[in-house]
Amino acid sequence: MKPNVTSISRRRLLQTGAMAASFAAMPGLAMRPLFAAEALSGSITMIKGPHSADEAKFEAMIINDFKSVAPEVDVAFTTYDWANMNAELTTGFASGNPSDVLYLVDLIYPAYAKQGALHDMTALVDSPDWAAERAHIPEFAWALAKQGGGTWGVPVLGAVYNIFINKDLLAKAGVLDSWNKSYGDMMEAAKKITGNGTYGFSARTRTGDFAFWDWLPYVHNAGADLLNDDWTACGLQGAEAATQFLIDMHQAGVTPPVGSMSTQEQFDLFKAGRIAICHGETPQIGELVANSPAFEWDVAYAPPGEKGQTVMGNFGILSIAEASPNKDAAWAFIKHWASGPQVGRFAEQVNLQVVRDDIVANMFANSPAMQKVQQDFVPRVKGIQPHPQILKMLQSIWPVAERAYRGELSGAATIEEMCGIIDGILKQ
Amino acid sequence: MPGTSELIRARRRQSLRRNLTAYAFLAPALAMFVLFLAWPVVMLFIQSFQTGGVMGPAKFVGLANWRQIFSDDLVRQTIFNTLFYAAMAIPAVFIIAMVLALCLNAIRIGHTPIKTILYFPTLQPILIAALMFTFVLHQDFGILNILMRAITGEPVNFLGNASLAMPTIAMVEVWKGAGFWTMLFLAGIQGLPRDLFHAAELDGAGPLRRFFELTLPLLKPTFFFSVVFATIVNLQVFDSVFVLTDGGPANATATTAWYIYRSLFSFNEPGYGATLSFILVLVVLALTIVQSFWFREK
Amino acid sequence: MTKGLFRRRNAVSLQPTRSMTTIAYGILLIGVLISLTPFFYILSTSLKETRSLFSYPPEWIPSTLFWGNYAKLLQETEFVRWTFNTLFVGVVVTALKLVLDAMAAYALAKLDFFGKRAMTGTLLLAVAVPVAALIIPLFFIVRSMGLINTWWALILPALANPLGIFMLRSFIVSLPDDLGHSARLDGASEWRVFTQIILPLIKPGLVVHAIYTFMLQYTSFLWPLVAIQTESRQVLTVGISGLKANFVVDWGLISAASLLATIPITLLFIFLQRFFLAQNLSGALKG
């Protein structure tokens, strides 16, 4: 039964492809054939980490809309636990029966692509009937999805790590306009504000919080990155001064005691008006909009470094499992999920950024902060280098930074030790 | 002599029957043991000479994993951390549980509700315990820091200070474990021969002397079981580390079981994880053997 | 009757003086407070409408009680389902393990057979194997049996650990050998000796074993996480952990779930408490 179904749907897909090509010239009609997947049938599952306590509800909306695209396809949605995503995904793949559609973050996507767990989607994303959609996703995002000569997924969402500022505190210290001109200005502002249980600055410091997200923009601003350009050796040389600056910030007494608070606790303290410059992430904007704090706040990013002013961001990628028996339906669902109306609505619901650039102007009409992030921050995003062992590298070097933040190492010694670890991993 | 051979045959039959009966009793548990414990351990051993094997095909790498273990500083540190943790947690939980058991033994009213409440923490999944301790340890209004500020004027950075993080993990585990050991020790105390205590009391032995000269020596078998059991369980400490610190800060709470998990599921190195598992088994075994000799001598 | 009981207790409990009793109650009170205080924090959080972990200034006793977290938990999540699953798997595992371990313990304690020493040694060694390490090989075995994502995946591997065998064995070892002799001379089978003479005598041991097994099952996390992939078949610990979204966590909801999750196992403990009478349990600890 199964091979029959797929062969029919393949033929049908080819037909729609041909139709799409002929309709492509007519505006307005070009979209329709893309999603004409009426002939598909069967059931597929999608797995994703939750971006909201209401994740299942939001996914149900997307799945419900998919019914009008492919009425014969049933989509079941499940979640993985972020803290254990690798355990769940790995065993899912190993079971031979993984979810058909997988939402993977860029931190782990390369490893699964390399191990052959994902379906090579190069032909799918390059097919002419999807070319218009493909063009809405910028090249830097596609570059991230490329691994070993193939494309294994469609980049859909971005999660930007921003800074929250308490404008009242900054204004009172007279540094509202100057605090982010340079690292020195930020230090000075933080020092002026700190006192009486109020802190000038905070960044993630705990391993469990993936604290490296708040260190990386400073590294990138110095023109450095974890690896050199061809990924053959450590590329952190150049980030010594930037790392020294963060060490100084944590040693200057302008932050909560190093490691005493999780990122959640830091944000709670920010909401209480007791942190002026607080590293965070954009989904927290929703919380500030819903329960507005007793002060003026805004979103910002780190001051410029020697080589630029970047913003850290992660990407979420939709992939198809190589073991999926119903790849046609899975691809149809990914196209649906990644389409402007669907991904746009979801991003608004959970306060994340979209990767596609055609819907940005209309998004977050009610949230100036999110608009600012989407329009001003996203173009500045410099993500991670998608090396298959990037997670291992980041997790292995972070303990060095933890010692440095506690005053045990200088910036130069930190970078040297980190490079030793990274080069060691590359050699294995 | 036909009689003798008849006898031998009868004995053989009898012994065969005895063996069959015994193995019939053992069979169901043994089947589960072989299938879900012994066989996985064999697979683990094979895996320790391989790389990959979870999602793609496995590749034999000889002794590479084992060699890497000996050059990996983090392995040494995790073994040290694990032993450091056990050296704090086991004596602490034993002393606290013994005191609570003696107190429970000394009271008559309210036994059941007090026992139930003391056992409450033991019943909590670590995830929930960790959530509760996020509150308890908070620097502004965690109850422990309210106390610390009252005493020293300064809050304590329980999980962020590298030299306090492991003692804090031990504290959470002691909180969780005390109820269980209290029950066990109470059972031991109440099972001791009463007449001896009565006689000692008539001889004028005070409560302290009775405890050190009667209770403790008589509880030796309980202690042996408990020490071995506690060692095995505590050297596998993982959950609390995983949810509270994820090995940090600066690897101060990185335990061997935590490193196994990380190798398997963060680093995608099942072969290395398998090798680490064997190291952990060897450490546990060595300690168990030392303990049994120590107890035998005393 | 009451008087007699009273006298016996008096004689055995070291005749505590009044000051000693006062000290004992004092220490126990501290123990009770330390055990309960952490629960107060999540009780308070579960009754507040907030997504933050901490609000400043803290309002530990909410001025208005908010029940929405409990309502949401029961209506919008599969919490009831997870509870049922957990109890179901827990009860099945406990019952099966009790039977298997008691039988094996009886053989190890009272029967003679070829290879007894070697087997006892092997089983003892196996207790030392770290559970976290077995996840991957166990996963492959359970997968090859086609049991992933079924109840059996949770039940069968839980029966393998021999610790319970040793717990029960030490109870049986302490029983006198001639208990079974007369029955055997009367022609009773070994099975009858086991079920009718031995089992009733080690009831307290069986209860301890049951509580311990159930508790282990109830708090297990890692194995159900990887072995069960359908949310409606999941157990409580994994289900609750899944309520934690990325970035923004609904702490009120999680606190409510954590508190409700403790109710069934506490009830079970109170129910079994009266069996948990100690003097009989001491047998477990000699061996």
- Per DSSP, the residues of B186-209 read HHHHHTS-HHHHHHHHHTT--HHH
pLDDT averaged over chain A?
88
Mutate to test the interface with A, among C248, C249, C250 (most CBs of A within 10 A): C248
Per-residue pLDDT at C269 exceeds 90: no
Residue A176 is which amino acid? L
Q: Is A148 on the interface with B (CB under 8 A)?
A: no
Query: What are the φ and ψ backbone dihedral angles of B114, each rounded to 5 degrees?
Result: -65, -45
Query: Shortest Cα distance from B278 to chain C (angstroms)?
Result: 8
Please give the average per-residue pLDDT across C164-178, as a whole number.
81
Express each pLDDT in A108-120 by its tens digit: 999 999 988 999 9
User: Strand pairing of A154-161 and A150-151?
Assistant: unpaired
Q: Is B199 on the interface with C (CB under 8 A)?
A: no
A399 and B250 in contact by Cβ < 8 A? yes
pLDDT over 70 for what percent of chain B? 98
C107 and B25 in contact by Cβ < 8 A? yes
User: pLDDT value at position B84?
Assistant: 97
**Number of separate helices (H) and strands (E) present in chain A:** 19, 13
Compare A29 and B148 and report the one with higher pLDDT.
B148
CB-neighbour burial class of residue A53 (10 A; exposed 0-12, middle 13-18, buried 19+): buried
Distances (CA, A) of B97 to B118, B160, B179, C205, C282: 10, 28, 7, 20, 16
Rounded distance between C-alpha atoms, residue A243 and residue A239, angstroms: 6
**Helix ranges (DSSP H) in chain C:** 2-12, 18-46, 68-76, 79-110, 116-127, 131-144, 151-158, 163-173, 178-185, 190-192, 199-201, 203-219, 222-227, 236-242, 251-273, 278-281, 283-286
**Helix ranges (DSSP H) in chain B:** 2-33, 39-47, 64-71, 73-106, 111-119, 126-136, 143-152, 162-190, 194-202, 207-210, 216-218, 220-234, 239-244, 256-265, 270-297
Q: Which residues pair with A140 in a beta bridge?
A: none
Express each pLDDT in B15-27 by its tens digit: 888 899 999 999 9
User: pLDDT value at position B285?
Assistant: 83
- Within 10 angstroms of residue A181's Cβ, the number of other Cβ atoms is 14
3-state secondary structure of C4: helix
pLDDT band at A27 (very low <50, low <70, confident <90, very high): very low
Tokens of C21: 């009793």
User: pLDDT value at position B286?
Assistant: 86
Contact C244, A84 (CB under 8 A): no
Rounded distance between C-alpha atoms, residue C179 and residue A261, angstroms: 62
User: pLDDT value at position C1?
Assistant: 34
Domain ranges (residues) in chain C: 17-71, 78-286
Contact B164, B156 (CB under 8 A): yes
Domain ranges (residues) in chain A: 2-158+314-381, 161-312+384-427
A84 and C243 in contact by Cβ < 8 A? no
CB-nearest partner of B38 from C13, C31, C126: C126
Rounded distance between C-alpha atoms, residue C60 and residue A251, angstroms: 33
pLDDT over 90 for what percent of chain B? 42
Rounded distance between C-alpha atoms, residue C15 and residue C28, angstroms: 18
C245 and A52 in contact by Cβ < 8 A? yes
Express each pLDDT in B49-67 by its tens digit: 998 877 777 889 989 999 9
- Within 10 angstroms of residue A187's Cβ, the number of other Cβ atoms is 19
Compare C50 and A179 and report the one with higher pLDDT.
A179
3-state secondary structure of B52: strand
Per-residue pLDDT at B183 exceeds 90: no
Q: Which residue of C has its CA nearest to B288?
A: C128
Contact C102, C256 (CB under 8 A): no
pLDDT band at C285 (very low <50, low <70, confident <90, very high): very low
pLDDT band at B259 (very low <50, low <70, confident <90, very high): very high
Domain ranges (residues) in chain B: 2-47, 68-297
Please give the average per-residue pLDDT across A379-394, as a whole number.
93
Residues of A with Cβ-Cβ distance to B141 under 8 angstroms: none
Query: Shortest Cα distance from A145 to chain C (angstroms)?
Result: 22
Compare A21 and B108 and report the one with higher pLDDT.
B108
Per-residue pLDDT at B79 exceeds 60: yes
Contact B22, C113 (CB under 8 A): yes
Q: Is B171 on the interface with C (CB under 8 A)?
A: no
A259 and B248 in contact by Cβ < 8 A? yes
Q: Nearest 10 degrees: CA dihedral of B5, B9, B10, B14? A: 150
Q: Angle CA(B35)–CA(B38)–CA(B42) in degrees, nearest 5?
A: 110
Among A333, A367, A361, residue whose Cα is nearest residue A349: A367
Among C134, C133, C153, residue whose Cα is nearest residue C143: C153
Subunits adjacent to chain C (3 or more Cβ pairs under 8 Å): A, B
Q: Which residues pair with A77 in a beta bridge?
A: A46
Residues of C with Cβ-Cβ distance to B30 under 8 angstroms: 104
Please give the average per-residue pLDDT across A281-285, as a whole number.
90
Weakest-pLDDT range from A307-316, B6-15, C129-138: C129-138
Please give the average per-residue pLDDT across A214-234, as a whole number.
96
Q: Which residues does C19 contact at the CB level (< 8 Å), separation at least 6?
A: none
Residues of B with Cβ-Cβ distance to C132 under 8 angstroms: 236, 238, 257, 260-261
Per-residue pLDDT at C3 exceeds 50: no
CB-nearest partner of B29 from C13, C104, C215: C104
Q: Is A199 on the interface with B (CB under 8 A)?
A: no
User: pLDDT value at position A175?
Assistant: 96
3-state secondary structure of A48: strand
Most confident of the following: A36-45, B204-213, C103-112, C176-185: C103-112
User: pLDDT value at position A89?
Assistant: 92
Per-residue pLDDT at B195 exceeds 50: yes
Unique residue bearing structure tokens 């079994």: C272
User: pLDDT value at position C168?
Assistant: 86
Please give the average per-residue pLDDT across C125-130, as a whole number.
78
Residues of B with Cβ-Cβ distance to C219 under 8 angstroms: 123-126
Q: Which residue of C has its CA nearest to A352?
A: C247
Q: Angle CA(A379)–CA(A384)–CA(A388) in degrees, nearest 5?
A: 145
CATH number for the region C78-286 comes to: 1.10.3720.10
Query: Shortest Cα distance from C165 to chain A (angstroms)?
Result: 31
Rounded distance between C-alpha atoms, residue C196 and residue C65, angstroms: 54
Among B233, B272, B42, residue whose Cα is nearest residue C131: B233
Per-residue pLDDT at B251 exceeds 90: yes
Distances (CA, A) of A216 to A248, A378, A385, A416, B289: 16, 16, 11, 16, 48
Q: Tell me, what's the ipTM?
A: 0.87
Rounded distance between C-alpha atoms, residue C203 and residue C168, angstroms: 10
Q: Which residue of C has its CA nearest to B225?
A: C285
Residues of A with Cβ-Cβ distance to C49 under 8 angstroms: none
Rounded distance between C-alpha atoms, residue A60 and residue A75, angstroms: 9
Residue A60 is which amino acid? A
pLDDT band at B135 (very low <50, low <70, confident <90, very high): confident
CB-nearest partner of C38 from B22, B133, B280: B133
Mutate to test the interface with A, among B138, B140, B238 (most CBs of A within 10 A): B140
Longest dimension (CA), chain C: 77
Counted across chains A and B, CB pairs separated by less than 8 A come out at 90
Rounded distance between C-alpha atoms, residue A404 and residue A398, angstroms: 10
B68-297 has CATH 1.10.3720.10 classification: yes
Most confident of the following: A362-376, B50-64, C10-24: A362-376
B221 and C119 in contact by Cβ < 8 A? no
A161-312+384-427 has CATH 3.40.190.10 classification: yes
Compare C63 and A194 and report the one with higher pLDDT.
A194
Please give the average per-residue pLDDT across C130-154, as a whole number.
86
Longest dimension (CA), chain B: 94
Among B64, B99, B91, B117, residue whose Cα is nearest residue B208: B99
Q: Which residues does C70 contact at the CB level (< 8 Å), separation at least 6?
A: C46, C256, C260
Rounded distance between C-alpha atoms, residue B48 and residue B28, angstroms: 30
Unique residue bearing structure tokens 């050796």: A233
Per-residue pLDDT at A18 exceeds 70: no
Window 82-101 of A: residues touching B by CB (8 A cutoff) are: 83-84, 86-87, 90, 93-94
DSSP C53: S
Contact A322, A117 (CB under 8 A): yes
Please give the average per-residue pLDDT across A184-201, as a whole number.
95
Tokens of B45: 């051993």
pLDDT averaged over chain C?
81
Among B19, B31, B30, B21, residue whose Cα is nearest residue C194: B21
User: pLDDT value at position C273?
Assistant: 64
Superfamily of domain A2-158+314-381: Periplasmic binding protein-like II (3.40.190.10)
Please give the average per-residue pLDDT across C218-246, as a whole number.
84
User: pLDDT value at position C16?
Assistant: 58
Q: Which residue of B has its CA nearest to C161?
A: B33
Please give the average per-residue pLDDT across A121-125, as a whole number.
95
Per-residue pLDDT at B265 exceeds 80: yes
CB-nearest partner of C225 from A84, A95, A286: A84
